[in-house]
Structures are given as C-alpha cells and as structure tokens.
Amino acid sequence: MNVLDLSPRIAVKFAVFAAFIGALAGLVVLYKYWLKYKPEFKQLYESSPPASDITFFDMYKEVIGYTIPFVLVGVINPLYQFVDMITFKDAMKSIGLKDVTTMYFTMLNFLTHKVVMIPVMVATGFSMALIPVITGFYTKKDQKGISRSLDQTYQIMLFLTVPMVLGLIILSNEIYTFFYSENSIGADVLATYAPVAILFGLFTVTAAILQGIDKHKWIVFTSLTGLLVKMILNIPLIKLFEVNGAIAATTIGYGIAVSINLFVISKVLNYHSRMVFRRLILIGIFNVIMFIAVHFTLKGLLAISPVGGKMQALLYVLICAFVGATVYGALALKSGLAQKLFGDRLTRITKKLGFGG
C-alpha cells in the first residue's frame, strides 16, 4: 500500500487523539477550579433555601428543553452543509457538470467555508459578551438598559464583521492562493460566499439573545424554518446558478431565520432604535472608504508584480490588511465611534493618542 494512501488516515487519528488530549486537559482544569471553589460552594449550599419538591422527570424535561435550542444553534451550520452534501452532486450532474462537481463541492463546503467562518468567530466573540448583560436588564425590566445593550451588540457585530467580509472579497484571490493554491474559480466562490458571514454572525447573536430572554421555542422554529427553505431551494437554485445557487439558498435560509429572530426580539423587548440605523450608515461610509483604499493598494501591488506564490500572496494580504485596518481604525477613532462601542478603557487610550473621545 502506498504511504500517501495512509496519510489521510494518520491525519484523522492524530486529530482525534489531539481532541482527546484537549478534552482531558479541560477536565483537569475544571477539577482544579472545582477544588479551589469547593469551600465556597459548600457554604452556598448550606445557606441556600430548601430545595423545591421537583421530580426527576420535570427536572430532565426542563434541562432538555433548554438543551435542544442550544445544541441546534451549534449544529445548524453543519446541517446546511449536510443539505449541500446530499443534493449538490446530483443537481450539478443533472445540468451536465459531472466532471467538476467534486471540485466545486470541495471549494464550497470545505475550503472557502473555513475562511468565511473566521470573521464570524471574531465578531461574535466580542458581541456575545454583552448577552448576559441583556439578560440581566431583561430580568430587571430595565428598558433603557436593554435598548442600550442591544444597540451596542448589533453595532459591534457589524462594525467588526463588515470590514473583514469586504477584505475577503477584495483579497479573495490572494487569500485563496495563500491558504490553498492559485485558482480563479475558488477565489470567485470565496468572494461570493464571504457576505454570508454577516448572516452567520447575526444568527448566532440573535439566537443567543432569544436564549437570554427565555424564548427557546423561537430558536427551534427559526432554525428549522431556515433549514427547510435551504432544502427546498437548494436543488432549483443550483440548477440555475451552479455553485452560486447553493450559496444563494444558504443566504435566503439564514436571511429568513435572522429576520424572524430580529422581529421577535423587537416585539418581546419593545426594541426600536433609529440611532443604530444612523450608526450603521456611518459604519457603511467608513467601509466604503476602506474598500477604496484597499482596492487601490492591491491594484498598485499587482501592477508592480503579480502574485507568484503563497508567500507573495501572504505579503499582499498583510499589506492590504494593514492599510485597511489603519484607514478604518483612524476613521472610527477620529469620529469617536470606536470609543462609544468599546468603552471607557479604549477612550482613555485614545485620549492619550490624541484622538477624539
């Protein structure tokens, strides 16, 4: 047997073993902290009121009721990919594209998807930190606090996601070349797929907000509704637009789910904000300026020397990212938007640097 035939199997074994080691390390850390806080837990237990008379059935029923929406949010994206897996190849074969089916499917569901999820992880990491705050205001029925926290959550989400998405679009060829290989088709798929990252992030954030205000049934409803739309539209759209049809079906499915989530949040929390709309226009203007700056920077670099390999592609990505981040950051700091979104600590730093606070 060829050694190359064994390499994927070996890679999978190493990946599984690494996951096992990571889980083991996590358990060790949890056990360490449990020992550290055990006296405090014991004191809280002894001073806590008597437990209510609740059956195991009721307890597990409630736990499962909370678990299903939580798990569904985590697996909904792989479920969309699963729909592509079971429909994409047959749909492509039906329009005479059997020879390139595997290549397109790999680009869509494996290669570009990994890159598209990068801005989603970054943006949701910042914005999700505000969800417990929203829950706290909701339990206290503090309407001003709710509105202020939702404003900040949506703004941070889009403030971080949109420029990264635009960066993926402008630099799709260089990014794809660096991560994989030079391929104009793969770069086009990445550029088309990148904007869907905004919907991925918004769905995660809005679903978390619904969890925080105890609207778990809506999470199940919107998740499954979006998935059903994806299943219905995937084959017809693939037949019409090939690989872009699968992306369009995902966009429509997530768009419907996000729209319903936003509607429910607005109704339940009585949330309406013109200020967010104005801020989004401002963020849009900053992104247009950044887009122009990065576009002409890339054009200048390519005029000097076309991309000739992975390291040159990486160099161009880093240069353009630096230009984009500098322009976008300077606009956000000078206008005071960044300080308003990220709090007093950033405000103190920017005052020392001479930016508006």
Percent of the chain's residues with pLDDT above 70: 92
340 falls in which pLDDT band (50, 70, 90)?
confident
pLDDT top residue among 277 and 356: 277
Question: Which amino acid makes up residue 345?
Answer: R
Task: Name the nearest CA neighbour of 77 among 202, 214, 240.
Answer: 202
Using the predicted structure, report yes or no on whether residue 8 has a pLDDT greater than 70. no
Backbone angles phi, psi at 78, to 5 degrees: -60, -30
Q: Count H helices, E strands: the chain?
A: 15, 0
Q: What is the DSSP string of 152-190?
A: HHHHHHHHHHHHHHHHHHHTHHHHHHHHT---HHHHHHH
Task: Identify the band that residue 2 occupies on the pLDDT scale cut at 50, 70 and 90.
Answer: very low
DSSP state of 107: I
What pTM was estimated for this model as a whole? Answer: 0.84
pLDDT tens digits along 78-95: 999 999 999 999 999 999
Helix, strand, coil fractions of the chain, as percent rounded to 5: 90, 0, 10
Q: Whole-angstrom Cα distance, residue 196 to residue 116?
A: 8
pLDDT higher than 80, residue 214: yes
The residue ranking higher by pLDDT, 339 or 302, is: 302
Report residue 348 as tokens. Answer: 């103190």
Q: What are phi and psi of 83, to 5 degrees?
A: -60, -45
Name the least confident of 13-27, 152-166, 240-254. Answer: 13-27
Angle between helices 172-179 and 310-335 (to 10 degrees): 130
Once rounded to an integer, what is the mean pLDDT over residues 30-39? 90
Q: Is 340 exposed, middle or buried (0-12, 13-18, 19+ CB in 10 A)?
A: middle
User: Of 195, 215, 164, 204, whose CA–CA distance to 317 is shortest?
Assistant: 164
The pLDDT of residue 344:
62
Per-residue confidence (pLDDT) for residue 178, from 0 to 100: 94
Under the phi-then-psi rule, with left for phi > 0, alpha for psi from -120 to 50, and beta for the rest, what region is 309? left
d(CA 148, CA 286): 22
What is the rounded end-to-end Cα distance, in angstroms, of the chain? Answer: 66
CB 155 within 8 A of CB 127: no
Residue 133 and residue 149 in contact, taking contact as beta carbons nearer than 8 Å: yes
pLDDT tens readout for residues 109-135: 989 999 999 988 887 777 677 778 888
* The pLDDT of residue 152 is above 70: yes
Distance between CA atoms of residues 230 and 88, nearest Å: 12
* Mean pLDDT to the nearest integer, 329-333: 93
Calculate what percentage of the chain has a pLDDT beyond 90.
56
The tens digit of pLDDT for each residue in 233-268 reads 999 999 999 999 999 999 999 999 999 999 999 999
Q: How confident is the model at residue 206 (pLDDT cuts 50, 70, 90)?
A: very high
- Mean pLDDT (the chain) is 88
Name the band, by pLDDT with cuts 50, 70 and 90, for residue 346.
Answer: low
Q: What is the mean pLDDT of residues 325-341?
A: 91
Q: Is the pLDDT of residue 357 over 50?
A: no
Per-residue model confidence (pLDDT) at position 270: 87
11 pLDDT higher than 80: no
pLDDT, residue 228, reads: 97
Per the CB < 8 A criterion, the answer to whether 313 and 183 are in contact is no
Q: Tell me the C-alpha distance between 315 and 306, whole Å.
A: 12
| Higher-confidence position of 166 and 20 | 166
The pLDDT of residue 161 is 93
Q: What is the DSSP string of 307-321?
A: --SHHHHHHHHHHHH
Indicate the domain borders of the chain: 10-48, 68-353
pLDDT value at position 351? 58
Instruction: Indicate if the alpha-carbon torsion angle 73, 262, 108, 115 is positive or negative.
Output: negative
